[in-house]
């Protein structure tokens, strides 16, 4: 679709054209994003919100413009957008922020398909505070069991936290149903949108979620920048959990508490990733120019094509839903270790992910101790990439005859 905009994709690996199918781990960066960040460092670099000089003003403007761009992109207002280093930091911060209001016996409902980032922080909090963590199981078709969700989400539930799109299975979860269920019981909803923002239209107002998190690097932006969205009414109530420069209105050497800034800046202690925010904003405009709906349709088409081709090979088992998978195809090849699969594919110039994809509980549940091989697509992938993947898989099966 847009191969030439991505300089890294023009290289060869082992003499073969690089076929990059590890987009669920991180996506490649278009030239315009690289240029925007270089340009920022060359023309505008300074610390933000502090200096009076020209560069400081320019940098502050660029950073706050980036916040506006992110807010518009997800249907939020700028004061509902907190910049973080990525999904993992967003979730860890949020867990600590929300944790202050949770008490022994309170329940948190997650799903069996959570990434460790949306699992371990809750589990740690639960251990410390005596909270109960429950998991919505899967159906045999690798989707969420909504019947069980209805049983598990009760008036004892304080938080329902789930991934929008599973990074291991590609399953798109029914956000609206889960949000309705949670809100009907008085629980807050946290959405891990690491695999969905930049891949399908995500509008926080329409989803009516309370919090939503994502990473810039999975949507053509740089690493080290991410977002924690929170509904204004909640952010106004919540206390920061990181402290330092740039987030206080007043502080003295006495025992009295510092006064935090009123804006979302009070959650951004210290010097943030300014160039990262600039890069993320550029990535957003790049994706918008190509059209999020078009990107989604393209990735769905590639998954359908890949699944239909892989299903022609009897030794392949697809680990994911029959329909409604977003850009991700997970599979096993007999009992061949996924690391062996990935190694042979790498020799063909094909980059895939092998293993448990930071979803160990899910892999245990599926009796896939070694995990799966995962091909994940984005806007620059083509049907030819899929053909090369399928040819590579046939080669693996030749080796392990
Ligand atoms: C669903 C999901 N959640 C969370 C994360 C963690 O993202 P990051 O490593 O950018 O913090 C990932 C990354 O793979 C993911 O796929």
**CA 88 – ligand 1 centroid, Å:** 6
Give the residue, by CA position, lying nearest to ligand 1 atom 9.
Answer: 88
Q: What is the DSSP letter of 199?
A: T
pLDDT for 3: 63
Among 264, 284, 90, smallest CA distance to 192 is for: 90
**CA 153 – ligand 1 centroid, Å:** 24
Fold for the domain defined by 32-289: 3.40.640
Q: Is the CB of 93 under 6 A from ligand 1?
A: no
pLDDT for 2: 61
pLDDT for 322: 85
The closest-lying atom of ligand 1 relative to the alpha carbon of residue 87 is: 11
**CA 87 – ligand 1 centroid, Å:** 6
Secondary structure element (H or E) that encloses residue 84, with its range: strand 81-84
Q: Could you tell me the residue ranges of all domains in the chain? A: 3-21+291-399, 32-289
Give the residue, by CA position, lying nearest to ligand 1 atom 12.
Answer: 194
Report pTM.
0.97
Cα→Cα distances 247→50, 211, 220, 253, 257, Å:
11, 21, 29, 16, 13
pLDDT tens digit at each of 401 positions of the chain = 566 699 999 999 999 999 999 999 999 999 999 999 999 999 999 999 877 999 999 999 999 999 999 999 999 999 999 999 999 999 999 999 999 999 999 999 999 999 999 999 999 999 999 999 999 999 999 999 999 999 999 999 999 999 999 999 999 999 999 999 999 999 999 999 999 999 999 999 999 999 999 999 999 999 999 999 999 999 999 999 999 999 999 999 999 999 999 888 999 999 999 999 999 999 999 999 999 999 999 999 999 999 999 999 999 999 999 887 889 999 999 999 999 999 999 999 999 999 999 999 999 999 999 999 999 999 999 999 999 999 999 999 999 98
Among 132, 117, 124, smallest CA distance to 96 is for: 124
Q: Is the CB of 119 under 6 A from ligand 1?
A: no
Active site residue 358: yes
Q: Is the CB of 84 under 6 A from ligand 1?
A: no
Matching residue, tokens 């009907």: 184
Among 132, 53, 118, 54, smallest CA distance to 88 is for: 118
- Residue 293 phi, psi (nearest 5): -60, -40
**Which residues fall within 8 angstroms of residue 54, CB to CB, at 6 or more apart?**
none
pLDDT for 199: 97
Rounded-to-5 percentages of helix, strand, coil across the chain: 45, 20, 40
For the record, the structure tokens of 400 come out as: 């392990």
Q: What is the C-alpha separation between 52 and 58, in angstroms, rounded?
A: 10
- Catalytic, out of 209, 220, 299, 358: 358
Among 329, 335, 310, smallest CA distance to 394 is for: 310
pLDDT for 1: 54
Is 3-21+291-399 a domain of CATH 3.90.1150.10?
A: yes
**CA 51 – ligand 1 centroid, Å:** 34
Among 24, 21, 19, smallest CA distance to 358 is for: 24
List b or e across 275-303, with b for residues whose CB sees 16 or more CB atoms inside 10 angstroms.
bbbbbbbbbbebbeebebeebbebbbebb
For the record, the structure tokens of 294 come out as: 């078009």
Asked if residues 326 and 351 have their Cβ atoms less than 8 Å apart, the reply is: no
| Lateral strand order in the sheet of 372-376 | 316-318, 328-333, 372-376, 353-355
* Ligand 1 binding pocket mutation candidate from 87, 191, 217 (most atoms within 8 A of CB): 87
């Amino acid at each position: 679709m847009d191969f030439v905009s991505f300089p890294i994709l023009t290289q060869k690996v082992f003499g073969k054209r690089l076929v990059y199918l590890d987009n669920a781990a991180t996506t490649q960066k278009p030239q315009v994003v690289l240029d925007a960040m270089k340009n920022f460092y060359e023309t505008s670099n300074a610390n933000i919100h502090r200096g009076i000089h020209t560069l400081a003003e320019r940098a502050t403007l660029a950073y706050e413009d980036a916040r506006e761009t992110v807010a518009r992109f997800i249907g939020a207002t700028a004061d509902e957008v907190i910049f973080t280093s990525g999904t993992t930091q967003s979730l860890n911060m949020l867990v600590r922020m929300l944790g202050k209001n949770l008490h022994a016996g309170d329940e948190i409902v997650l799903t069996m398909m959570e990434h460790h980032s949306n699992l371990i922080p809750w589990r740690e909090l639960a251990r410390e505070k005596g909270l109960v963590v429950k998991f919505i199981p899967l159906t045999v078709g690798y989707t969420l069991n909504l019947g069980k969700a209805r049983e598990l989400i009760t008036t004892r539930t304080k938080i329902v936290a789930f991934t929008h799109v599973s990074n291991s299975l590609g399953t798109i979860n029914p956000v609206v149903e889960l949000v309705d269920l949670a809100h009907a019981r008085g629980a807050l909803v946290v959405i891990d949108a690491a695999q969905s923002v930049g891949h399908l239209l995500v509008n926080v107002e329409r989803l009516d979620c309370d919090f939503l998190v994502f990473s810039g690097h999975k949507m053509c932006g740089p690493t080290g920048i991410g977002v924690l969205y929170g509904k204004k009414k909640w952010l106004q109530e919540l206390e920061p959990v990181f402290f330092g420069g740039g987030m206080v209105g007043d502080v003295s050497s006495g025992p009295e508490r510092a006064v935090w800034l009123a804006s979302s800046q009070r959650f951004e202690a210290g010097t943030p990733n300014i160039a990262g925010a600039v890069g993320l904003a550029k990535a957003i405009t790049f994706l918008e120019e190509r059209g999020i709906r078009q990107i989604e349709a393209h990735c769905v088409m590639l998954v359908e094509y890949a699944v239909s081709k892989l299903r022609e090979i009897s030794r392949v088992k697809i680990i994911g839903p029959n329909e409604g998978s977003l850009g991700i195809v997970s599979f096993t090849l007999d009992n061949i270790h996924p690391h062996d699969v990935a190694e042979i594919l790498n020799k063909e110039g094909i980059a895939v992910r092998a293993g448990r994809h930071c979803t160990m509980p899910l892999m245990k549940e599926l009796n896939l101790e070694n995990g799966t091989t995962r091909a994940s697509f984005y806007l620059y992938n083509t049907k030819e990439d899929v053909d090369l993947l399928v040819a590579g898989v046939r080669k693996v099966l030749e080796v392990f005859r």
